[in-house]
Amino acid sequence: MRFTETRAALLFISPWLIGFFIFTAWPVINSAYLSLTDYDVINDPNFIGFDNYVTLFEDPKVGLALRNTFIFTVMSVPAQLVVSLGLALLLNAATRASGFFRTAFFLPKMTPPVAIGILLLMLFNGQNGLINSFLAIFGIDGPAWTTDPDWVKPGLVLMSLWTVGASVVIILAALRGVPQELYDSALVDGAGWWRRTLRITVPMISPTLFFLFIVDSINALQSFTEAYTAFFGSGNTTYSNDAALFYTIYLFQQAFEFLHMGYASALAWLLFIVIMAITVVQILLTRRFVHYEGGQP
């Protein structure tokens, strides 16, 4: 009986088991090995020990790409959290038509990231883009978002705020789960809106905010498509911009444009270590601010 159940279970999970060995376990081992080689796909891998890892620390572009990626993450993740929390609170406060507004906030999330990269170039164009035309109404002379190295990342961050729709939906679901009694007793105590939000709402949904903080950071550290579309690719000399060189873009270039598969594998492992380290630090630093109803899960 026990044996037949195990056999049946193994049959059901066999697709994942096979896939795990072919597309995860073996690639992880192979990637670790390749990172110790010089490999261009055409010729056999040439074992060179830790040379690639030494090169990593001497390659100025690695430093640049890491810096770009950090700056983007540090700016975009808190901004996304604040905006999505704000929009979710507004939606939660609206008694009617919240479905319509939710749809409006969510729709941009459906846009293919390539199209978002193109929209970025159009909307943030320094001379005649929509954003600067809008700023001009208030007499503000907007920057050259798409060409000035100092403004490329802020532009990418603002563009990333356009796709917070999924976070809004997640936070809204959490808000609706906060028990009404808590607010009722706070109202009796005469607590104002701000106080209720800061003392009740935010602590009650802190597990959700924590989850989004971690996931958004991991995603931001691996940003690729929007920046690659707008600022890189063949024939793109006009907008080619080192300020938008994110780590994953540099890795992609090394691997598939220059065919430095060994070096790119080393880059991938550095990324893995960086993401792990950042995630662990984030969890350790923010865990005590997270409130779990009924104790730690």
Query: Is the C-alpha dihedral spanning 107, 70, 150, 239 positive or negative?
Result: negative
**What burial class does residue 31 get, using C-beta atoms within 10 Å of its C-beta: 0-12 exposed, 13-18 middle, 19+ buried?**
middle
Closest-CA residue to 214 (of 276, 291, 142, 130) = 276
Min dist. Cβ of residue 106 to other proteins (A): 7
| Closer to other proteins by Cβ: residue 62 or 261 | 261
Count of beta carbons in the 10 Å neighbourhood of residue 112: 10
Residues β-bridged to residue 132:
none
Min dist. Cβ of residue 179 to other proteins (A): 15
For residues 249 and 232, the answer to whether their CB atoms sit within 8 Å is yes
Tokens 């159940």, residue? Answer: 5
Min dist. Cβ of residue 72 to other proteins (A): 16
| Closer to other proteins by Cβ: residue 18 or 198 | 18
Residue 18 CA to residue 24 CA, distance in Å, equals 10
Q: What angle do CA 138, 144, 113 make, to 5 degrees?
A: 100
Min dist. Cβ of residue 54 to other proteins (A): 20
Closest-CA residue to 38 (of 252, 255, 269, 262) = 262
Count of beta carbons in the 10 Å neighbourhood of residue 285: 9
Min dist. Cβ of residue 274 to other proteins (A): 9
Min dist. Cβ of residue 9 to other proteins (A): 3
Count of beta carbons in the 10 Å neighbourhood of residue 125: 18
| Closer to other proteins by Cβ: residue 66 or 123 | 123
Min dist. Cβ of residue 285 to other proteins (A): 18
Query: Is the C-alpha dihedral spanning 242, 248, 249, 251 positive or negative?
Result: positive
